[in-house]
């Protein structure tokens, strides 16, 4: 995924440029140090426009770390939504969003089959915006929805979750990949997320906490 230079106005002087992936100030960009991996299940991130420049967003990290992951912009002024990545007839899709009636990931995601690709779709937005996206994006209406197991315990929360059991986009993607049998890709993504989260907390003047032991996981919303 191409990196863009973003800017944030400082209190004094000109704006300071930020990396378009890790969103650290460019002098402290850590993208070159992040691990990369591949997955047998494709990951598609639909990112709300307001998440593009949010330093606590983790959706863009998935596209940078996992080979073949797609990052689709939604609600971007002057850019109509392009849903072609959600309409491949050779792909079996599952939308990771816990709407009523959503099955578990293991139930909703078909087994691997010759000539078919499996894909997990995540909505990268705040909870209210993700709900609207799930309703308004036409390409999602015919796709099955899935949820993560109950009682998720976020390990790398860069912003306060709206409710218990909600995970950020990258952490939700890692758990979904793990459940789909892609443990290597899940570990790679978590390692990258730990590095980015640690740098973000340092930038805020906080000491990164040691990762919590992973417990049973819950339905997520991406952020």
Report all structural domains of the chain as residue ranges with CATH numbers, in order of start: 40-203 (3.40.1280)
Rounded-to-integer distance, Cα 188 and Cα 215, Å: 19
- The residue-averaged pLDDT of 196-205 equals 76
pLDDT tens-digit map of 126-175: 999 999 999 999 999 999 999 998 776 667 666 665 565 578 899 999 99
pLDDT tens-digit map of 19-74: 878 878 888 889 999 999 999 999 999 999 999 888 888 999 999 999 999 999 99
- What is the pTM assigned to this prediction? 0.82
């Amino acid at each position: 995924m191409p990196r863009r230079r973003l800017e944030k106005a400082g209190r004094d002087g000109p704006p300071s440029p930020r990396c378009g992936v890790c969103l650290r100030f460019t002098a402290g960009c850590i993208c070159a140090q992040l691990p990369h991996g591949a997955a047998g299940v494709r990951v598609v991130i639909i990112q709300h426009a307001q998440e593009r420049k949010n330093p606590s967003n983790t959706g863009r990290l998935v596209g940078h770390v996992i080979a073949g992951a797609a990052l689709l912009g939604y609600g971007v002024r002057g850019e109509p939504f392009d849903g072609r990545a959600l309409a491949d007839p050779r792909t079996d899709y599952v939308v990771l969003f816990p709407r009523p009636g959503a099955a578990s990931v293991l139930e909703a995601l078909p087994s691997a089959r010759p000539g078919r690709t499996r894909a997990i779709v995540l909505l990268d937005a705040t909870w209210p915006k993700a709900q609207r996206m799930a309703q308004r994006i036409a390409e999602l209406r015919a796709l099955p929805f899935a949820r993560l197991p109950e009682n998720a315990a976020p390990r790398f929360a860069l912003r306060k979750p709206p409710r218990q059991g909600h995970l950020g986009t990258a952490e939700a993607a890692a758990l979904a990949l793990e459940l789909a049998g892609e443990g290597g890709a899940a570990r790679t993504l978590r390692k990258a997320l730990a590095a980015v989260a640690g740098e973000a907390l340092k930038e805020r003047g906080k000491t990164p906490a040691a990762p919590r032991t992973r417990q049973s996981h819950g339905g997520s919303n991406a952020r």
